[in-house]
Amino acid sequence: MKKVLILGGSGFVGLHVCEKLVAHEWHLTVLTRRMANAQNLLTLPNLTLLEVDVHDEAALTHALAGHDAVVNLVAILQGDQAQFDRVHLELPKKLARACKAAGVRKLVHLSALGANADNPQAAPSMYLRSKGAGEAALIEAAGAGLNSAFELALLRPSVIFGAEDKFLNVFAELQRVLPVMPLAGAHARFQPVWVEDVAAAVVSCLERGGMAPADAAPRILELCGPEVFELEDLVHLAAQLSGIRGGLGRPVLELPEWAGRLQARLMELAPGTPKMSRDNLDSMRVDNVASGKLPGLESLGITPSALRPIAQEYLTRNQSDHGVLGIRQRAH
């Protein structure tokens, strides 16, 4: 049985990747910082869960031994420069060295749309700069030609949606409690991609034509849905599908840049993970849509899924008056 090591397997994308790989008869080893974080994986067959600090290069190399491939899904959306570099640059470097030491021949790395391996510093945000630098480090480590160290696939998704997302669900949640929806970057453009399509792309890269041959340049793919939306459109859509104010949602208050950055700064100071940061706003300065210069999901035989019918299913399900609870409410 083919063996693959997964970094970030207990996260939003990771769970879907693990489910698909198990269905394709791979044996999975998932690394997690704490076993309690990955309890949702324990029901999957042919899966080994290891408590390992992925930033410990020696432990990572030891865990990789005996595997045919590795998938890196580890990422953060907020942080300072040092935190972004630790996760998006230093970890890929360690993983590349570990692959060479353990003899692992395939590496699939989830990056981000807007990353630029050729010129990482040209990106407008710390997040995208670190993502591009991580790609560049992996490309250099993999090499090309007869002396290449491993096959490499770099996947660049647009914003990812799905039932457990922190995207449309957040827009719906905020509109349930706020009288108006203050919105920075209202006209930023996105091409949302379904998490199941992203997971299918990972499987395709490992099993079929998604990987470039070891003697060729690394394969870079842009993973996007079939439709482009402005951020304001997505906020309205989340409200409509969630039934907020009868589907009308809250009035959107478009914020000028200075007010949007002030709002993001205040969110950064609040306890817990912020829903928006100034660096997130910086990332939105570039359109989060396919460039048209790189292959996409179609090159893997995957037809990109439309957002509306899928989001309607899970946002409707999350309504307070949906299902048995709704029947009880209406009975009173």
Mean pLDDT of 191-219: 82
| Stretch 105-122: mean pLDDT | 96
pLDDT digits (tens, 9 = 90+) for 318-329: 655 444 333 333
Percent of the chain's residues with pLDDT above 70: 92
pLDDT for residue 218: 74
* Partners of residue 7 on adjacent β-strands: 31, 72
pLDDT 10s digits, 294-303: 999 999 999 9
| Distance separating alpha carbons of residues 102 and 68, to the nearest angstrom | 10
**What is the average per-residue pLDDT within 23-43?**
91
Cα–chain center distance at 126: 16
- Considering 38-42, 132-136, 164-168, 319-323, the range whose residues carry the highest mean pLDDT is 132-136
Minimum mean pLDDT range among 55-59, 70-74, 235-239, 321-325: 321-325
User: What pLDDT score does 31 carry?
Assistant: 95
pLDDT interval class at 70 (50, 70, 90): very high
Between 41-55, 204-218, 284-298, the lowest mean confidence (pLDDT) is in 204-218
Local confidence band at 1 (pLDDT 50, 70, 90 cut-offs): confident
A 10 A CB-CB count for 330 gives: 8
The distance of Cα 43 from the centroid of its chain, to the nearest Å, equals 23
The mean per-residue pLDDT over the stretch 44-60 comes to 95
As separate numbers, helices (DSSP H) first and strands (DSSP E) second, the chain gives 12, 13
Q: What is the spatial distance between Cα 225 and Cα 302, in angstroms, rounded to a whole number? A: 11
Token digits of residue 219: 């394969």
**pLDDT of res. 326:** 39
Compute the average pLDDT of residues 266-276.
87
Give the model's pLDDT for residue 103.
94
Q: Do 275 and 209 meet the contact criterion of CB atoms below 8 Å apart? A: no
Per-chain mean pLDDT for the chain: 90
The per-residue pLDDT for 329 is 36
Q: Phi and psi (nearest 5°) for 229?
A: -130, 145
Mean pLDDT over 276-291 rounds to 95
Q: What is the pLDDT confidence band of residue 10, given thresholds at 50, 70 and 90? A: very high
Q: What is the pLDDT of residue 209?
A: 57
Question: So what's the pLDDT on residue 36?
Answer: 85
